[in-house]
Amino acid sequence: MIKTVKQACVFNPIIRDYRMSQAIENLADIIKDEGDGQEFFSRNYVTQGMEQLFREGMLRLSGQSDQAVFELAQAMGGGKTHMMIALGLLARHPRFIPPSNI
């Protein structure tokens, strides 16, 4: 008989001790671990949705926009963390911002 997801999966104990502050700190660590962003951006295709997030996010960070909330609506595995890493890398290394698009 085929196992259910609950029967087949063993959860990592950290799931039960999840804290939002840990997730934010981990995201910052990942951004730092990506170095200067060159390798990250060389292996990624920037979609229109990513361009919109980058444009709006950089306007917010530069004080040119009051938009403070961005809804990332992808399903699980749809790239929300990936997009936040990319935005963090652009904030740290603005030379990767495409001048004609953002």
Q: Which residue has the tokens 């997801």?
A: 5
Rg (CA), the chain: 17
pLDDT digits (tens, 9 = 90+) for 43-71: 888 888 888 888 898 899 889 999 888 88
Q: Work out the pLDDT band at 20, boundaries 50, 70, 90.
A: very low
Distance CA(64)–CA(58), nearest Å, equals 8
Residue ranges per domain, the chain?
A: 19-96
Could you tell me which of 100, 89, 95, 6 has the C-alpha nearest to residue 44? 89
Q: What is the pTM of this model?
A: 0.61
Between these two residues, 16 and 42, which has the higher pLDDT value? Answer: 42
Any idea of the CA torsion for 62, 95, 38, 40, to the nearest 10 degrees?
30
**Percent of the chain predicted with pLDDT > 70:** 75
Question: pLDDT value at position 102?
Answer: 45
Nearest to 46 by CA among 93, 73, 85, 92: 85
